[in-house]
Amino acid sequence: MQKANKQLGLWTSTSLVVGNMIGAGVFMMPATLAGFGGISLVGWVCSSIGAFLLSKVFAHLSHLLPAANGGPYAYSQKGLGDFGGFLVAWGYLFSVWTTNAAITVSFISALSTFIPALATNSVLAIVTGLATIWFLTWINSLGIFTSGVVQLITTILKIVPIILIGLAGLFYIHWENFLPFNTSGTSTIAAITATTTLTFFAFLGIECATIPSGSVANSAATVAKATTLGTLIATVVYILSTVSIMGMIPAAQLKNSVTPFADAAILIWGHGAEYWVSAGVAIAAFGALNGWILIQGQLPFAIAKDKLFPSIFMRLNSKGVPMLGVVISSVFVSVLMSINYTKGLVEQFKFLMLMTTSALIIPYIFCTASYFILQIRLPFTSNKFLATAILLASLTFVFCLWVMIGLGQEAVFWGFFLILSSLPIYVFAVWKRDKV
C-alpha cells in the first residue's frame, strides 16, 4: 500500500480531470464549430451546464463511496449490481483504448510541425507513436504519484497557450464574425443540439478523478473538489478561446483551417508563433495520453477485485500499480493507433471513435441512475436533500439523453452493441465465480 504522502492531492487530482478533458481535440474545436456560426456559443453554454450537472453527480457519488476504485464502474456496481457495473466497465474501457489511439495520432500530427517527415512517412509515424505509448506506460509503472506529477506539469503547460490566445484575442475580435448567428442551414433547435453534442465531447473525462479514488488523499473531499474545480477550469478555457478565435477569424476562413489556434497566434504575434502553439498541442496530447494510460490500469483492477475479471489483474508491482491492465491496454492502443495509419481504414477508425463516444455516454446515464438509487437507500436522507437529489438526477439524465439524440441513431446503436457484446464474458465470469 502506498504511503499517504505518495497519494494524489487536490491539484494532481484536478490536473487529472483537466488534463484528460483538454486533449489535442480542443485545438480543432473552433474550426469544427465555424460552420454553425455564433449559435455554437449557445452549444458551449448548454454542454457546460450538462458537464456541471455530471460533475455534481460524481462529486456526490465520491462522498457516498469515497474509496471506490474504478469510478463509473464502482458507482454503477453499487447501485445497479454486478451486471450494470460490468456493462459500464466494458464500454468505458474500450472507449479509453480508442481514445488513447486517437490522442497518440494527434500527438504525432502536432510533432510534424517540427519533424515534417512524420506527416509523410507512415513507418516513422507509427514508430514514434509506439515509442510514446510505451514511454508513458513505463512512466505509469513508477507509481500513481509520479503519473500525477507528470499530469500536473503537462496540464499547466498545455493551458498556458490556450489562455494566452483567449485573453489576447479579445482585443482583436470583430463582432461581425459572429453573424449571421445561425449559418448551419438547420433550425435553431437542431443547430443547438448539434453544437451541444460536439462541444460535450470536450468534457469527456469529468469522472477521471473518481477512478483512482483509493489512491487519493482524503478522497471523499478531494475527489469532489477536483471534479468540480476541473470542470470549471475547462469551461473557462474552452469558452474563452472559442469566443476569441471565432471573433478574430471569419467563419469562411476558419472552417477550412486545420490549425485555428496557430492561425490566431500569427494574427496576434506574427509568424513564428505557430511553433509554440504546435508545441502546446503536442503537450496537450502528451498529457492527456498520460492521464488516460493511468486510468486504463485502474478499471481492470477494480473489476478483478469483484471477481468479474481474472484475478491476475489485481497483482500490483512494487510501486502499487496494477501493471497487467496497463500493459494489455497499451497493446490494444498500439494496434488501434497503427491501424489509423493503414491506408483505407482511416474512415472506419473515425467511425469507431464516434461509436465509442456514444458508449461513454451510457456510463454517465448508469452513474446518474445509481446516484439516485443510493440516495433513496440512505435512511437518514432528509426530504429536502432527497428532492435536490431527484432534481439533479433528472436534469442530468435528460441532458445525457439529449446528447445521445445528437450523436445519431447509428452511433448510438453501435455503442449499445459494443457494450452488450461483453455479455458472454460476464456470464462466464459469474459462472466461474459462483463455481469457486
Domains of the chain: 9-435 (1.20.1740.10)
Cα–Cα dist 5/27, whole Å: 35
Q: Report CA-CA distances (Å) from 81 to 166, 303, 306, 314, 428.
A: 45, 12, 11, 20, 17
- Looking at residue 46, its amino acid is C
pLDDT value at position 1? Answer: 38
* C-alpha cell belonging to residue 282: 503536442
Cα–Cα dist 262/165, whole Å: 9
pLDDT value at position 334? Answer: 92
Give the max Cα distance, the chain.
69
User: pLDDT digit of tens for each residue in the chain (436 aa)?
Assistant: 344 446 677 878 888 788 778 876 677 788 888 889 899 999 999 999 999 999 999 988 888 887 677 788 888 988 888 888 888 888 888 888 888 887 888 788 778 878 888 878 888 988 999 999 999 999 888 887 777 788 788 888 888 888 888 999 999 999 888 888 898 888 999 999 989 988 887 888 888 877 766 677 777 788 888 888 989 998 998 899 889 999 999 988 888 876 788 888 889 998 888 788 888 888 888 888 888 888 888 888 888 888 888 788 888 888 888 888 899 999 989 988 887 666 544 455 556 556 666 778 888 999 999 999 988 887 666 667 788 888 999 999 999 999 988 888 877 787 777 777 778 878 877 877 777 5
Question: Helix %, strand %, coil % for the chain, to 5?
Answer: 80, 0, 20
Choose among 107, 72, 102: nearest CA to 359. Answer: 72
pLDDT value at position 356? Answer: 66
The distance in angstroms from the start CA to the end CA of the chain is: 27
* C-alpha cell belonging to residue 341: 495509419
Q: What is the pTM of this model?
A: 0.83
Which phi and psi angles does 8 have, rounded to 5°? -75, 135
